[in-house]
């Protein structure tokens, strides 16, 4: 098979190997595959109908069963999986509010399972599940001061995009929100695009929800087509369609929140990191509705990105032909092709040592905006790879992001 594979696990009797593999064209592990060592070596997808994403697996009781971290939409849950693909509830009926965001760590006898759990109002901590009683116990409490703050209200929202397509996301509104008035709204787009927003903590340098909500700005975290957590068909919907289906999914989400009286149509912003940066650049060339945008480590030119990034195969999995044989489909879905349509002020952020989304993608965007006379600011961070790691840089980035939106959506 082609595509990526995840952690491999031996069965307890040594006759089979299980791993997480790709179920469609897009290069991303999503299903559980099993290979029998005494057969022809052909892997079998034992979860072909799973409308979710298997993100990681570990052996349970020495490999008698498997314990998986599965993304079910915005939820991140642990499930037991038999070697024939049957999925069982791990500890209680129904999952508590929040999300597991790590691979599970079971005890030797499988009765206890440790993992990293996060909630909208608390940062990630280690929790332990007792499968014998169904109880969940918190074992660390690393940031108690956070829970004392006036944090944003977080809710799961959904809406219809194209006919028959339901899209899910998370909405953060400022502390004390009673639903009586619309707020300025920022759409923050996730990376990937084979990734998803989960129902956890939205704080830190790359998740701006709590920061912006503290300023009086609501934030929508959509999981448009292309996201993990909703099955192969949903994730593979972007093949030959990047910038199309996902853009419609996001904009219909914005419209739904406006119709529900939750968002101010005259004070809209957009932003994101990595693929979220791609979608930010693309969005501001497709619509003039956004008053502020933040493009972080983005790729406004799909053609040149394919030659200077470190994972060209990821881009190629969305197109039928390699860029060197036919560049037109990639160029057609590049923001640079239609950059003259942009009127939105854009803050561009990038790490200078980024090998995933090369910094020169942002240089292209910067030069184009400068030559067209579009309001912009371009900031690079020395030594930083694809993710910003140094604390002073993270603080600087968050201050810039907050100010950029605040000055254009609130002042």
Sign of CA dihedral 90, 92, 94, 96: negative
Catalytic residue among 31, 190, 376, 386: 386
Alpha helices in 301-390 (DSSP H): 302-308, 312-316, 328-332, 359-372
Q: Return the bridge partners of 117, or none.
A: 100, 125
Active site residue 227: no
Residue 298's nearest CA partner among 334, 274, 269 is 274
CA atoms within 13 A on the CB side of 289: 20
User: 368 exposed, middle or buried (CB, 10 Å; 0-12, 13-18, 19+)?
Assistant: buried
Q: How many CB atoms lie within 10 A of CB 130?
A: 14
Asked if residues 136 and 113 have their Cβ atoms less than 8 Å apart, the reply is no
- In angstroms, rounded to a whole number, what is the distance separating the alpha carbons of residues 344 and 338? 13
Place of tokens 């595509």: 3
Q: How far, CA to CA in Å, does 319 sit from each of 17, 148, 295, 338? A: 31, 48, 24, 20
Catalytic residue among 232, 274, 304, 334: 274
What letter does residue 24 receive in the DSSP assignment?
Answer: S
Active site residue 350: no
Place of tokens 């209680």: 92
Task: Write down the number of H helices and E strands in the chain.
Answer: 10, 21
Please give the distance of CA 209 from its chain centroid, rounded to a whole number.
Answer: 14
Please give the distance of CA 141 from its chain centroid, rounded to a whole number.
Answer: 25
Backbone φ, ψ for residue 187 (5° rounding): -95, 115
Please give the distance of CA 385 from its chain centroid, rounded to a whole number.
Answer: 18
Catalytic residue numbers read: 274, 386
């Amino acid at each position: 098979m082609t595509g990526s594979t995840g952690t491999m696990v031996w069965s307890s009797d040594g006759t089979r190997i299980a791993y997480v593999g790709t179920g469609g064209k897009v290069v991303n592990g999503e299903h559980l595959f099993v290979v029998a060592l005494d057969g022809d070596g052909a892997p079998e997808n034992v979860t072909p109908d799973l409308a979710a994403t298997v993100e990681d697996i570990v052996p349970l009781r020495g490999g008698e069963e498997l314990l998986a971290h599965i993304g079910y939409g915005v939820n991140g849950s642990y499930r037991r999986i038999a070697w024939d693909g049957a999925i069982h509830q791990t500890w209680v009926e129904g999952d508590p509010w929040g999300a597991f965001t790590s691979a599970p760590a079971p005890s030797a006898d499988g009765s206890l399972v440790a993992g990293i759990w996060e909630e909208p109002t608390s940062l990630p901590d280690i929790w332990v599940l007792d499968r014998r009683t169904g109880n969940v116990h918190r074992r660390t409490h690393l940031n108690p001061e956070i829970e004392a703050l006036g944090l944003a209200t977080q809710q799961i929202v959904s809406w219809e995009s194209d006919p028959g397509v339901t899209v899910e996301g998370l909405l953060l509104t400022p502390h004390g929100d009673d639903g009586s008035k619309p707020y300025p709204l920022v759409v923050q787009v996730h990376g990937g695009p084979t990734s998803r927003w989960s129902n956890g903590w939205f704080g830190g340098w790359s998740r701006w929800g709590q920061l912006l909500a503290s300023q009086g700005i609501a934030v929508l975290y959509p999981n448009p087509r292309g996201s993990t957590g909703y099955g192969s068909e949903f994730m593979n919907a972007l093949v030959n369609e990047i910038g199309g289906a996902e853009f419609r999914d996001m904009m219909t989400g914005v419209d739904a929140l406006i119709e529900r009286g939750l968002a101010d149509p005259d004070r809209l912003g957009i932003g994101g990191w990595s693929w979220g940066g791609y979608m930010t650049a693309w969005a501001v060339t497709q619509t003039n509705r956004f008053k502020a945008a933040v493009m972080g480590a983005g790729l406004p030119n799909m053609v040149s990105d394919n030659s200077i990034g470190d994972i060209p195969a990821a881009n190629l999995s969305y197109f039928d032909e390699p860029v060197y044989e036919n560049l037109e489909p990639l160029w057609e879905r590049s923001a640079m092709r239609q950059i003259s349509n942009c009127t939105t002020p854009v803050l561009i952020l990038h790490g200078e040592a980024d090998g995933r989304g090369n910094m020169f993608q942002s240089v292209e965007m910067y030069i184009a905006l400068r030559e067209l006379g579009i309001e912009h600011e371009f900031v690079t961070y020395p030594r930083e790879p694809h993710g910003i790691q140094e604390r002073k840089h993270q603080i600087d980035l968050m201050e810039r992001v907050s100010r950029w939106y605040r000055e254009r959506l609130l002042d």
